Amino acid sequence: MYKRTHTCGELRKDHIDETIHLNGWVNTVRLHGQVIFIDLRDRYGKTQIVFNSEDYNGDFVAVKKLSMEDVLSIKGTVQSRSEGAVNPDMSTGEIEVAVDSMELLSETAPLPFVITDRESALEDLRLKYRYLELRTDELQKNILTRHKTYQAVRSYLSDNNFVEIETPTLMKSTPEGARDFLVPSRIHHGKFYALPQSPQLYKQILMISGFDRYFQIVKCFRDEDFRADRQPEFTQIDVEMSFVDEEDIYSNMEGLTRHIFKELNDVDLPDPFPRITYADALAKYGSDKPDTRYELFLNDVKEFTDRSEFNAFKSAESVKAIVLPGGAKYSRKIIDGLTDFVKKYKAKGLTWMKGENGKLSGGIAKFFDENLQSDLIHATEIKDGDIIFIIGDEKTVVEPALGALRVEIAKREGLADPNIYKPLWVTSFPMFEYDEVENRYTAMHHPFTAPHQDDIEKLETDPASVLSRGYDLTMNGHEIAGGSIRIHSPEIQNKVFSLLGLSLEDAKEKFGFLVEALTYGAPPHGGIAFGFDRLVMILTGSNNIRDVIAFPKTTSAVSLMDDAPNTVSSQQLNELGIQIKPDKN
Ligand code: ASP
C-alpha cells in the first residue's frame, strides 16, 4: 500500500508537480476511452485522479473494472486541470492527479444502494447498511457537527468551573415518568437494574456531596412507545448547580447555548433570551414550545361568536382564532384537509371566514351581521384576501389544536426561516397534571421539582393551582432543554410524594436514599438537561433525529444493522433464572 501523503481534500495548486500518495474510496468513475477519471473520496474531500493508458504503468484493464466504493491506494503526480475542467465547487477543483500506479486495497461487493444518493433507497435499507450510509456527505457532516458540539459543550462548561462526573448506567428502577429499561441481575436472582431515564437522582446527590457545578454528556434510556422523533436511547447534556435560583441557571445556560451556536454556526443569539410563562405561551401560541419566528397569534374571539347566530360555540369554554394574511386563496379542499388535521388534536371541526370587500364571506360569515363583522374585522385585523380560522371547545382542546394548525400553516406557507434561531424560556409551569385514567395527580416535570415559594401553602388545599419552579428552553418550536429548581427540604419532598399518590412506604422504597440524603445538609440546588440529539438536529438543519445519531434505532426501537433486540441462548436465560412466557399477554 502507498500510505497516504495527503488526504483527498488537501491538494491545491501549490502541490503541482509533486509526487503524492492518496488512499480512499472510488466515489465516481467516468470512462473516456483511453482516459479514466475517478473522484477519490475520504472524509476530508474528493480529488480527481486520472488514469491515462499512455502514462499509466499498471494494468489498464484492471482500472476499467473499478467501481464505486472500491478502496484504492495510488501514487501519482499533481497537475493543473485544463482550463475548462476547473471545478470551483470542489476544494481540490483546480488540480488533478495523474496516476502512475495503483493498488486495489479492497473490492466492494455489489452495493445495496447508491452512496452518492441517499434518496436512492428507503430508510430501512439504509439503516441495515448504516456503515454505507454513514459514508454520505450529509451524514459525515452531521457526525462532525455532533463531535464539535461535544467539544463546545465541554470547553464552555469546564471553563466555567463545571465538573464532568459519570454516573452509573446500572441503577435502581426509580420511576421518573417514563417506563424503565430493565437489566436482570445474574448474581442476585430475581433482581433487576434499571437503565437511567436520566441521572436526576445522582446529580442531586452530587450537590449534597459538594460538587456545586456538575455536568455530563450522558446516554439516557426510556422505554416509551412509538414516536417518530424519539429514540429509546438518547443523549443529554445534564447539568446541576448549587446555591442558585432560576436566574443563575438562565444566565449560565444562555451562555452555554450562545457559545454552542457561535462556535458551530457562527450565529449570535440574543442576550438575554426572552421569556414567556406557560399560560401565556398556550394563550398566544397554543403551544408550550412556541415557534416565535413568525406571528399568527391566537386571538380570543368568544365575545364575537357569542354575539353571532352561530350557536355551536355558545356553550364552548373557549373560542379562539388565527388570521392568515393572504389565506383567502385556500380552496375548499385545502380547508377540508386542515379540518381533518385539527381533528387529530381533538377539535370537532374548523370554522372559517374570508375577508372580501371590507366584509367577511364564506364559511360561517352568514351568522355574523354587518356590525358584528365589522367589530370582528377591527379586533382581529382581518384584511381583504385573509382567512380566519376559528375553533371553539374546552380550552385544553382549542389552544393545542390551533397551536398545531399554526405550525402546519407556517410549514405550508414557508413562514419559518431555517436560518433564524429564536430561543425562548418557558416558565411557571403547573406543578401537577391530573391523570383522568389513574385518577391522581402526576408531576408535570418530575417529583423533585420545587413548587413556587408562594404556592407552598396551596400544596394541600389546591394542588391544581400550584406553579412549579420548572423551566424549559425552547427554540424554533422545539424543546431543547428542561429543568427545575429542586426541592431541598425532606418535608416538602415527602409532601409532594404523597400528593403524587406515593405512600411514605413506597416513597421510601423508591427514593428513600434521596430523601435521606436531603437530611444531611442539602444545599438549595437546581439544574437542567439539554436534549443533545435535538440540539444537533437544529444545528445541522436536519429534520430526522436518526440523521444525527451514528447508529440509531427505528421508531419501533429496532437496530436494523445488528438486529437488536434479539433472543438469547437458553443458557444465558438459565444463568439469570429467567423463563420466557410463550405469549407476551
Ligand atoms: N432530569 C430531567 C429530564 O431528564 C432534567 C432536569 O430536571 O434536570 O428531563
Return the ligand 1 atom nearest residue 240 CA: 8
Distance 529 CA to ligand 1 centre (A): 5
Supply 559's cell numbers: 437496530
Q: Which residues of 550-559 are buried (b: 16+ CB within 10 A; e: fewer)?
A: eebbebebbb
Supply 341's cell numbers: 388535521
Supply 246's cell numbers: 432560576
Q: From residue 261, how far is each of 128, 216, 274, 357, 467 by CA, in Å?
A: 33, 19, 17, 47, 31
Supply 325's cell numbers: 394574511
Q: Is the peptide bond before 272 cis (omega within 30 degrees of 0)?
A: yes
Distance 288 CA to ligand 1 centre (A): 17
Measured from the CB, is residue 528 less than 6 Å from ligand 1? yes
- Backbone φ, ψ for residue 34 (5° rounding): -90, 5
Distance 531 CA to ligand 1 centre (A): 10
Question: Collapsing DSSP states into helix, strand and coil, what is residue 357?
Answer: coil
Measured from the CB, is residue 468 less than 6 Å from ligand 1? no
Strands (E), 107-257: 163-164, 181-184, 192-195, 213-221, 233-242
| Intervals of the chain under pLDDT 70 | 175-176, 584-585
Question: Collapsing DSSP states into helix, strand and coil, what is residue 106?
Answer: strand
Using alpha carbons, select from 518, 506, 537 the residue that is nearest to residue 209.
518
Distance 240 CA to ligand 1 centre (A): 10
- Backbone φ, ψ for residue 241 (5° rounding): -140, 145
Supply 363's cell numbers: 364559511
- Backbone φ, ψ for residue 563 (5° rounding): 65, 35
Distance 486 CA to ligand 1 centre (A): 11
- Whether the CA torsion 375, 379, 384, 387 is positive or negative: it is negative
pLDDT at 584: 64
The whole-angstrom separation of Cα 51 and Cα 38 is: 8
Distance 198 CA to ligand 1 centre (A): 7
Measured from the CB, is residue 167 less than 6 Å from ligand 1? no
Distance 238 CA to ligand 1 centre (A): 8
Distance 569 CA to ligand 1 centre (A): 37
Q: What is the pLDDT of residues 63-95, one digit of tens each?
A: 999 999 999 999 999 999 988 999 999 999 999
Measured from the CB, is residue 526 less than 6 Å from ligand 1? no
Q: What is the pTM of this model?
A: 0.94
Distance 148 CA to ligand 1 centre (A): 23
Q: Which residues pair with 485 in a beta bridge?
A: 526
Return the ligand 1 atom nearest residue 197 CA: 4
Average pLDDT, whole number, for the chain? 95
Q: What is the pLDDT of residues 332-344, one digit of tens each?
A: 999 999 999 999 9
Please name the amino acid found at residue 437: V
The whole-angstrom separation of Cα 112 and Cα 560 is: 14
Measured from the CB, is residue 196 less than 6 Å from ligand 1? no
* Ligand 1, atom 8: closest residue by C-alpha: 528
Distance 527 CA to ligand 1 centre (A): 8
Mutate to test the pocket of ligand 1, among 238, 472, 473, 486 (most ligand atoms within 8 A of CB): 238
Mutate to test the pocket of ligand 1, among 198, 224, 448, 525 (most ligand atoms within 8 A of CB): 198
Supply 130's cell numbers: 448504516
- Whether the CA torsion 549, 554, 556, 561 is positive or negative: it is negative
pLDDT at 323: 98
Mutate to test the pocket of ligand 1, among 162, 445, 469, 472 (most ligand atoms within 8 A of CB): 445
* Ligand 1, atom 1: closest residue by C-alpha: 200
Measured from the CB, is residue 484 less than 6 Å from ligand 1? yes
Measured from the CB, is residue 200 less than 6 Å from ligand 1? yes
Using alpha carbons, select from 430, 162, 393, 402 the residue that is nearest to residue 296.
402
Distance 294 CA to ligand 1 centre (A): 29
